[in-house]
Amino acid sequence: MKDLLERVQKETPERFDYEWLGRFVRSINANELNYRELLPEITSADDYARNILCLAPFECVLLYWPPGVESAVHHHEGFWGYVLCLEGAIDNIEYTLKDGKLLESRAVRAYAGGVLNEPDGTIHKIVNASDEDYLVTLHFYYPALDTLDNLRLFDLVHRRIATLNEKAATASFGQDPSCYRSIEEDAFEFVPLADNPNARSHRVYPILPKPGSDQIAELLGKYYKEQAFEYDSFDLTHESRRKYTERINMLIAAYFEKTQPKKVLDLACGTGRRALDIRNQSGIDYEILGIDLSPEMCAVAQQRGIHAEAGNWLEIEIPKTEADAVTFLYAYGHIPSEQERRASLKKIYDSLKPGGYLFFDAFNLNDRNEWGPAALKAFDEHNLGDFGYERGDVFYKKVGGEEVAFLHYCDEALLRDFVTSAGFTVESILHIGYVQRSGEILDREDAGALFVIARKD
């Protein structure tokens, strides 16, 4: 830590800005910092502790968080900065205040080495995401805050706004009454995300740095375990999702009527419902072999009579040139990296008989009605390329859920290149409406998901 503080003094220009400080913080190797002896003493299991390391040319303060502890929602007025996670897992929940209503707007999770942006005007709270482990964070602010005087806190339960004075030790409620300059009752209305009529069923939830492939597979397994017994209901009760899947099912079934497959490999089979719907629509009694990351999903598929195997597709042994067709629906984007997406397509190619077909869909990076453009914006705003992200990577949560999933939004030209590089001939890439004009085949490049029909010659 001494070396870092020396860097602060030596490398900070006389005039620096928000962007410069961000580059400086992201250049810090969290694994090289020796901070244990500088951790502040925790005096309450319900609050964090602070140790200010320096105040010039900007503030550097070390925070120590007991398990499950969070700050109050507070407002950064007239100062800005960054948070570097040194140990544990941190959730940064942001809010917007408009017309007396406080609404949750977005969230980011960071692990060791992850950096959170806190521009001037931010309203947010910081949460230790673990109920078992301690969290250590290093904060950088300008102008420096030698005290928390005039910092405003929002009490989401009692709808109070408290203004701290110079005696306050943390941005938290529950301190001695002498730590508050004022408390305003009935000061705002809090609208939880689940009650926001404009909120979607899922929310973007970046993770910094990007987890490795095994960690992403684990996250997806937990996410689909959480969703396993309500997944079909969600599919059927959300009109846009239902129309979208029905269109793709119909297109695949029509191909099967013509090609008369005997064996179909269904990757990311989930509960098996879609595979059976497609078979029923086709009128062809072919064998279905299902593979899915989630044992819970596979168990449901097996109850429906599908031979389903749980595991990572790239690690499961599949006989070559046995399948007449492969379906890979609503899941190609779960593959965590370009290298693995290319490898998956090659393995699918090898599993097919000559003349066999691959059918899969992918979310369109340029779909103005989906998360693709937002993913590009987040990539730039959060400097996600510095944390292992590829353009189009998105982590997300279901509103009301706890588990985080991963999805990659695809550029159509790159997707076509991946498929042809694996050896396939692309028969067509259709744009199919998902959120808007659900289930319709569209003629705009910036609308609809991408549905690929490819053949092994």
Going residue by residue through the chain, which has 457 residues, state the pLDDT in tens, using 9 for 90 and above: 999 999 999 999 999 999 999 999 999 999 999 999 999 999 999 999 999 999 999 999 999 999 999 999 999 999 999 999 999 999 999 999 999 999 998 899 999 999 999 999 999 999 999 999 999 999 999 999 999 999 999 999 999 999 999 999 999 999 999 999 999 999 999 998 877 776 677 788 999 999 999 999 899 888 888 776 565 565 556 788 899 999 999 999 999 999 999 999 999 999 999 999 999 999 999 999 999 988 998 999 999 999 999 998 899 998 899 999 999 999 999 999 999 999 999 999 999 999 999 999 999 999 998 889 988 988 998 889 999 999 999 999 888 888 899 999 999 999 999 999 999 999 999 999 998 999 999 999 999 999 999 999 9
Specify the DSSP class assigned to residue 84. E
For residue 205, CA distances in Å to 32, 105, 208, 353 come to 28, 11, 10, 40
Could you tell me which of 405, 371, 408, 413 has the C-alpha nearest to residue 391?
Answer: 408
Residue at token pair 């602070």: 50
Look at the chain and count its residues: 457
| SS3 call for 37 | helix
**Cβ contact 31:41 at 8 Å:** no
**Cβ contact 105:205 at 8 Å:** no
Ramachandran category for residue 186: left, alpha or beta (phi over 0 → left; psi -120 to 50 → alpha): left
Nearest-angstrom CA–CA distance, 446 and 155: 42
CATH number of 2-199: 2.60.120.10
**Cβ contact 345:422 at 8 Å:** yes
**Cβ contact 306:265 at 8 Å:** no
Could you tell me which of 16, 50, 5 has the C-alpha nearest to residue 151?
Answer: 50
The C-alpha angle with vertex 404 and arms to 23 and 230, in degrees rounded to 5, equals 160
Q: How high is the pLDDT of residue 361?
A: 98
pLDDT tens-digit series, residues 150-178: 999 999 999 999 999 999 999 999 999 99
Instruction: Compute how many other C-beta atoms are within 10 angstroms of the C-beta atom of residue 106.
Output: 17
Q: Phi, psi (5° rounding) for residue 139?
A: -110, 145
Question: Helix crossing, 295-303 with 213-227: angle to 10°?
Answer: 50
Whole-model pTM above 0.75? yes
Nearest-angstrom CA–CA distance, 343 and 192: 42
The C-alpha angle with vertex 201 and arms to 197 and 204, in degrees rounded to 5, equals 110
Spell out the residues 6+ positions from residue 73 whose beta carbon is closer than 8 angstroms to its own.
Answer: 93, 95, 102, 123, 124, 125, 153, 154, 156
Domain ranges of the chain: 2-199, 213-455
Strand locations in 269-383, DSSP E?
A: 287-292, 307-310, 323-328, 352-362
DSSP structure string for 203-270: EE--EESPPPHHHHHHHHHHHHHHHTTTHHHHHHHSHHHHHHHHHHHHHHHHHHHHH--SEEEEET-T
CATH number of 213-455: 3.40.50.150
Nearest-angstrom CA–CA distance, 267 and 315: 13
**Cβ contact 220:293 at 8 Å:** yes
Residue at token pair 């396993």: 228
Which tokens is 373 given?
A: 């453009």
| SS3 call for 349 | helix
Nearest-angstrom CA–CA distance, 378 and 395: 11
Nearest-angstrom CA–CA distance, 328 and 304: 19
Could you tell me which of 429, 411, 400 has the C-alpha nearest to residue 363?
Answer: 411
Nearest-angstrom CA–CA distance, 97 and 123: 8
Cis (ω within 30 of 0) for the bond into 57?
Answer: yes
| SS3 call for 153 | strand
Nearest-angstrom CA–CA distance, 109 and 232: 28
pLDDT tens-digit series, residues 16-43: 999 999 999 999 999 999 999 999 999 9
At position 324, the amino acid (one-letter code) is D
CA 159 to mean position of chain CA atoms: 29
Same fold, 2-199 and 213-455: no
Q: How high is the pLDDT of residue 381?
A: 85
